[in-house]
Structure 1
């Protein structure tokens, strides 16, 4: 078999690089063509993560047999309800669906059924699951990767970028066929179907805006409520300006600068601009805004309390002292599930999400028997195939965990 570097480079879609549809007439043409096509629909979206505010899609790519590839500009078109109607009950093929589904949903696009080629590759036990790697392993061609982090909000989009975007959907249909065959050979088709059905209901976890400042990188360095209040005001000032200007917050000020300013408590603009991280254009131009935020945090009587309880367990590394029995149960179950995953040619996190096992061991059912463990797994979101493969292992591990010295 050829090495990755020897594989032919796939450089052009079979039908050429299509133009971007950015008008009502173009959208109508795309909808009519896709509705007349047959079979599943390859779907992808390009964002401007780290450049623009939020995670919205700036380009949507679709391909269907008999319809060809269509590139749509959501910024110009707005709602894509016409496309949703055209696709009807057709299965979508995506790679790493959870990355694109939220942005597509904002445009009115939601799948009735889907096939995630990344998840399928994980379930088939492939060693690498990025799109390029899976294409190389199964289709024996290479895809160019040079524009994956480009600013897709740019207009007009360069021809090379459009070629890259079109190639992202060009091979998804044959890739799906290869992966479906692998899953069938391994007896995992039903497992994958359950996972894909679950993905259709995916919605990202949304942290309330009033609490999102607590996710600032480095926040743990700030020990006093007063410094946390300063950080909160700085974060809110940055977030409001970022939203207004449609820029990623980190383009205005990095998290490290917010934390450093909250730590230093500058009283004047020169002191503020001496804080590490306050050296870019937005730092200097908006210095009065940032200083006002520091002052508001310094004066406010509304000091942050402890974070709202999310009901999630503490990190398992702390369990040994806080709850030794739960620690033994968790480590025993995790080790045994890892062995089972290896037998099934799965990654442990595919066999069962780590968060599910942690929650189950930290807040176990009142009765430790197969029936109650199965019920708890279902309530925590495990799919039927996962319950079938893991419940007995977890039950035995919780009833008779290994001694601490063996963990």
Structure 2
């Protein structure tokens, strides 16, 4: 490992790096660093790549005008990533898009490893301790300090060795095909469409009931989001969610009252006071938002017993049965089957709750073939048992 790390930001350096990477062998380890919590965008501010026989490369995507040449060189080889779903979007944004991946975090989950963070996996498999003190750093900083670059390089330099060890363990556990299906699903999974009303993601929004309170919260969120995009700063660094909720609850009657509200804080709470007050005034005359957003998702399970006892029985018995299967397969139950998929099928079961029809419903939601094979008969049996238990309870009551 080099003592000093250099960030590639010029075309000549980039071309030389691509040539060296093309001459390497085996998979490429890829990682990206963003500035979440500091910047508005989720763009990559550093892209790291390692390949045996080529070395480690740190690219500055803010200085380079594209990665087409690199993409053409590595498109057809396996990309090794840790928690790939977190990085694929920002990599695709600059034109880097894999055909095949090996996700070391996902592999660790499928193997039932108790801790699946990269540092924990590296320590367990390779006996090497990784320092993670820079994981939440502001990677938009320029120049990037050497300790940060050393940390970023280690994230990929050890990843291929980790991949090899995990692949061997998957094979020994008979889970290689399962992993392959999960990796393929990760690549093919479509990005979630933007929320129709993203302001409803405000932390604590459920505590607001009246249309007027909600209107103020919406207006302040929108004003904050507009400013955050304009100055490329994480919205919460301007004014935190808690401040928006405090204003929406107290409904200050004047700009002075807003300024005097101690719970209204943040770096832009006073410097942009006119902006916030204007948003509050606009909220007074705007059409208020609906108290609830229509959704096709089932209600929270805690409400099922009262609203739909049959669905509640189905869910409880199926969850218990799947927990047993997950334990036997030595993996988290959420990897055995996405919890939302089970909730949806339990809330709206097929007219004929057979394993075949449950498999069709789960497949339509995105469940993989191995998941269907492992779970559908178990779920079908649980649904039958739930119906029988409710029928027995009805007979006893009568």
Bin the TM-score by the shorter chain. over 0.9
Structure 1 position 268, deviation (Å): 2.3
Q: Distance in 1 between matches of 2:206 and 2:341?
A: 26
Q: Distance in 1 between matches of 2:53 and 2:275?
A: 55
Residue 323 (str. 1) matches residue 296 (str. 2) = no
Q: Is the 8 A contact 1:102 1:203 kept in 2?
A: no
Specify the alignment match of 1:143 in structure 2: 130
Specify the alignment match of 1:85 in structure 2: 72
Q: Is the 8 A contact 2:223 2:279 kept in 1?
A: yes
Following superposition of structure 1 onto structure 2, how do residues 236-255 of structure 1 map, counting pairs within 5 Å?
A: 236-255=222-241
Specify the alignment match of 2:347 in structure 1: 362
Q: Distance in 2 between matches of 1:259 and 1:206?
A: 26
1:179-212 alpha-carbon deviations (Å, 9 max, x no partner): 001100110000000000111113432333x500
Q: Distance in 1 between matches of 2:302 and 2:389?
A: 16
Q: Distance in 1 between matches of 2:267 and 2:116?
A: 39
Specify the alignment match of 1:349 in structure 2: 334
Structure 1 position 280, deviation (Å): 3.4
Specify the alignment match of 1:65 in structure 2: 52
Following superposition of structure 1 onto structure 2, how do residues 3-402 of structure 1 map, counting pairs within 5 Å?
A: 14-208=1-195, 210-300=196-286, 302-401=287-386
Runs of 5+ consecutive residues of structure 1 not aligned to the other structure: 1-13
Q: Distance in 1 between matches of 2:138 and 2:99?
A: 30
Structure 1 position 35, deviation (Å): 1.9
Q: Distance in 1 between matches of 2:3 and 2:76?
A: 28
Structure 1 position 306, deviation (Å): 4.5
State TM-score, norm by structure 1: 0.93
- SS in structure 1 opposite 2:80? strand
Q: Is the 8 A contact 1:98 1:202 kept in 2?
A: no
- SS in structure 2 opposite 1:110? coil
Q: Is the 8 A contact 2:239 2:267 kept in 1?
A: no
Per mean C-alpha deviation after superposition, the further-off stretch among 267-276 and 86-95 is: 267-276
Q: Is the 8 A contact 1:229 1:297 kept in 2?
A: yes
Specify the alignment match of 1:3 in structure 2: none
1:107-138 alpha-carbon deviations (Å, 9 max, x no partner): 11111000000010011111111111111111
Q: Distance in 2 between matches of 1:315 and 1:366?
A: 23
Closer, same or farther in 2 for the Cα pair 1:26/1:277, shift >3 Å? Answer: farther
1:4-54 alpha-carbon deviations (Å, 9 max, x no partner): xxxxxxxxxx24443101112222222222222211110001111111002
Q: Distance in 2 between matches of 1:28 and 1:310?
A: 50
Q: Distance in 1 between matches of 2:151 and 2:245?
A: 38
Q: Distance in 1 between matches of 2:320 and 2:41?
A: 38
Closer, same or farther in 2 for the Cα pair 1:79/1:306, shift >3 Å? Answer: farther
- SS in structure 2 opposite 1:40? strand
Q: Is the 8 A contact 2:216 2:283 kept in 1?
A: yes
Closer, same or farther in 2 for the Cα pair 1:264/1:75, shift >3 Å? Answer: same
Q: Distance in 2 between matches of 1:75 and 1:268?
A: 43
Specify the alignment match of 1:11 in structure 2: none
Q: Distance in 2 between matches of 1:372 and 1:158?
A: 57
Runs of 5+ consecutive residues of structure 2 not aligned to the other structure: 394-398
